[in-house]
Amino acid sequence: MNSMILPIQPMKNLITNPLTRAAIAGLSVWLASVFMAHGQNKPDDLKQRILAQAQSIHADDYAFTRTIRSVPTANGKTETTITIEKYDPTKSGDARWTLVSVDGGPPPADALSKYHKESPKRRVPGYYRLANYFTGPVTTATDSRARTVFRFASLPKESVLVFDSDVSENTSAEASVGESNGVPFVEQVRLSIKPMRIKLVMKLDRYESTSRFRMGPDGKPVLVEQVADVTGSGLGQEGSLHQVITYSDYRAVK
């Protein structure tokens, strides 16, 4: 069988042909515009995915255990307190929060009384709260680990409360996006609050906190740790607080 060999136009002629050069130039411009548009839209697409992810999670999705290790220092004196509490959204009212122990023993009566009194205003922590962050203005950057970082110069109202005061407007945040099995999620959030007065009698000099998340077995991110450092003064006293909060025993209830 005879094979047919088609003539191949020399590459030189293709390049020097005015019509071909114009086509190549046009194609290059089109590709550049496509890549540029893709690069511009990518952070916004990621933002929308993170927002939708946070909105798909609710405060009542999980029961969990929270361990709080607080190390306050006032007037040169330092104490350490460890409290363990549980949250169960299947229960009603104040019964959702339970104070399990204080410093390894049963909670004293005065601690229980105070705990129950504060239960109605106790907010449930979790990934779902990030949805409020992403409703406000945001810029993007890339960190040393090549992660996308969303930066917020301030946060929308009700995002951050300190001593029952809304300090969101004075709070900046950085949310670093990781990935689990190809699914992006915010794996770390860092908050910083500008020096300010709270309730007139308290002065907040420094507040820095870091929250870490991991992907849960059902494909939803869960909060695993919060670390905060606070310094300030009030009622004639200066002090600081180092606090580490860990979350465990997650149980999906929906």
User: Could you tell me the residue ranges of all domains in the chain?
Assistant: 11-44, 57-252
Helix (H) or strand (E) holding 246: strand 237-252
Pull the structure tokens for residue 191: 């908050």
> Residue-wise over 117-147: b if at least 16 C-beta within 10 A, else e?
eeeeeeebbbbbbbbbbbeeebeeeeeeeeb
For residue 227, give Cα distances in angstroms to 23, 209, 223, 232.
Answer: 58, 5, 12, 17
Alpha-carbon torsion (250, 192, 157, 73), positive or negative? positive
In the numeric block, the tokens 């229980």 are attached to 112
Q: How confident is the model at residue 65 (pLDDT cuts 50, 70, 90)?
A: very high
What are φ and ψ of residue 81, in 5° steps? -130, 135
* Residue 62 near residue 250, CB atoms below 8 Å: yes
Give me 183's structure tokens. Answer: 């699914």
Yes or no: say if 165 and 198 are a contact pair by the CB < 8 Å rule.
yes
In the predicted model, is pLDDT for residue 157 greater than 60?
yes
- Mean pLDDT, range 94-104, rounded to an integer: 95
Angstrom distance (rounded) from CA 220 to CA 115: 30
Dump pLDDT digits (tens) for 123-132: 999 999 999 9
User: Shortest CA distance to 165 belongs to which of 135, 196, 137, 125?
Assistant: 196
Close Cβ partners of 12 (under 8 Å, ≥ 6 residues apart) = none
Is the torsion defined by CA of 223, 245, 161, 94 positive or negative?
positive
Q: pLDDT tens digit string along 2-51?
A: 443 334 344 444 344 554 544 444 544 444 443 433 343 478 999 999 99
Residue 207, strand partner residues: 193, 230
Residue 228 vs residue 93, higher pLDDT: 228
| Helical residues (DSSP H) of 1-101, grouped into ranges | 11-16, 18-55
Confidence of residue 89 (pLDDT cuts 50, 70, 90): very high
| Mean pLDDT for the stretch of residues 73-78 | 89
188-226 confidence digits (pLDDT tens): 999 999 999 998 888 999 999 999 999 998 999 999 999
* Cα–Cα distance measured from residue 90 to residue 130, given in angstroms and rounded to the nearest whole number: 23
Res 99 pLDDT > 90:
yes
Q: Which of 208, 246, 229, 218 is nearest to 125 (CA)?
A: 246
